[in-house]
A = this chain, B = another copy of it.
Amino acid sequence: MAIKYSKRMKGVKASEIRELLKLTIRPEVISFAGGLPAPELFPIEEMKRVSLKILEESGQQALQYSPTEGFPPLRQKIAKRMEKLGVGTYSDNILITNGSQQGLDFSGKIFLDAEDVVIVESPSYLGAINAFRAYQCKFVEIPTDDNGMIMEELEKALNTTKNVKMIYVIPDFQNPSGRTWSLERRTKLIELANKFDLPIVEDNPYGELRFEGERIPSIKSLDREGRVIFLGTFSKTFCPGLRIGWVCASDEILNKYILVKQGADLQSNSMSQRELNEFLESYDLDRHIEKIKRLYKERRDLMINAIKEYFPSEVKYTYPQGGLFTWAVLPEHINARELMVKALERNVAFVPGGAFFPNGGNENTMRINYSNMPGDRIVEGIKVLGEVIKESLSK
């Protein structure tokens, strides 16, 4: 048998993170690899009450088919929450998706033909790169610094690149770098997108997890022309297992996402949408988020302090003001994929950073997650990582 697959399947590869995660589920592994929330904070008791209530009061509807767009009261609540991000919007501009990953896939489907170009930060989120790649696009990576994407470089790329169809950014506590864009860069991004008439996909899973510093307005809040597609999710503020995210976009664009959702899976889980809606009605999500932030800040502090103590001074790393990740850059001759093999032998895991650069290179980088491990294991794991790095340096 020689079944022929579509051309796009040549570009579809296993996500290195998902494959790695399989190796890291052994309980003895100290894993900084995933982007997993701290499960000890999941509101399990609240979920029990909420599930019972939904089944009691509207069980038939919760288990039945429901509208593609999502459960109307939940869409309303999300629209309301968007106001806090400075985005005035309506529930009609919200589509419920299976986590923001589905919004990424849909963005590729809606905007990209084969050979089209997506502009991304360098580095960018691996899951987005994989989702877009299925639409046979090319990537132009724009260099970044501690203030986000470098706008002079973006402008140069826009002036010299054909068939750019979309700009994809993660402006808050970026995955993988942990860095956050300055307001100035955000304003300039909108200006350039307006000039070149391009849609921006703003992926914002971590924006609500700021531990310190001033909140910076979302890019969507600066958008006067309806060209920003905002992807949100409850995976990091509530829990990822229910797979509830959303797309917020202007009427015409959102309508495309709704059509694509119909063909993709008809609708998201009816029961989980009602459970989340009931949770938002009965409990205070913002208070819950405060708890998450306190814990993650503590873990970030432990990790950064351990890095200061145990990593050799040649290693550079970012200081995230929120979110789940820090990012380390090793001396150029060290290959983080090889480092990962050695670290795993000692039961410590992280994600080699090369995978976050769609056009390759940068194998001397690593993404390190601090949200999922208890404090003592963070310190222990960083100590081991420091030793593994030192061994590689001395060779």
A42 to B61, CA, bound (A): 10
- Nearest CB of B to A219, in Å: 16
Residue in B39, B56, B61, B110 whose CB lies within 8 Å of A64: B39
Q: A1-B226, A12-B259, A131-B263 are in contact. Are A59 and B40 (CB under 8 A)?
A: no
Contact of A266 among B111, B127, B133 (CB under 8 A): B127
B9:A256 contact, CB within 8 angstroms: yes
* A225 partner residues in chain B, CB cutoff 8 A: 1
Question: Are B60 and A42 neighbours in the complex by a CB distance under 8 Å?
Answer: yes
Contact with B along A32-64 (1 / 0, CB 8 A): 001011011010100110011001100111111
A22 x B67 contact (CB < 8 A): yes
Measured CA separation A270–B241 after assembly (Å): 5
Q: B37–A265 contact, CB under 8 A?
A: no
Given A37-B64, A63-B47, verify A199-B3 contact (CB < 8 Å).
yes
Give the one of A9, A56, A198, A226 with max B CB within 10 A.
A9
**Shortest beta-carbon distance from A314 to chain B in Å:** 33
Query: Which one of A74-82, A98-106, A299-307, A352-360 is at the B interface?
Result: A98-106
Q: Knowing A64-B239, A127-B263, A267-B243 are in contact, say whether A135-B105 is a contact too (CB < 8 A).
A: no
Query: Which chain B residues border A36 with CB–CB below 8 Å?
Result: 64-65
Assess whether A263 is in contact with B134, with CB atoms less than 8 Å apart. Answer: yes
Instruction: State A93–B264 Cα separation when bound (angstroms).
Output: 22
| A48–B3 CA distance with the chains assembled, in angstroms | 45
Judge if A253 is at the interface, Cβ distance under 8 Å.
yes
| Interface size range on A against B | 35 or more
* CB 8 Å contact bits of A5-49 with B (1 = contact, 0 = none): 111110011110010001000000000001011011010100110
A131 and B264: CB pair below 8 A?
A: yes
Q: Which residue of B lies closest to A225 (CB)?
A: B1
List 19 additional A-B contacts (Cβ < 8 Å) besides A66-B241, A98-B98, A127-B262.
A5-B110, A5-B111, A7-B113, A9-B110, A9-B256, A14-B259, A15-B263, A18-B262, A22-B67, A65-B240, A65-B241, A98-B265, A105-B264, A109-B134, A131-B264, A133-B263, A242-B269, A271-B272, A272-B272
Partner-B contacts on A (CB < 8 A): 1-9, 12-15, 18, 22, 34, 36-37, 39-40, 42, 44, 47-48, 51-52, 55-56, 59-68, 97-99, 101-102, 105, 109-113, 116, 127, 130-131, 133-135, 165, 197-199, 225-227, 235, 239-243, 253, 256, 259-260, 262-272
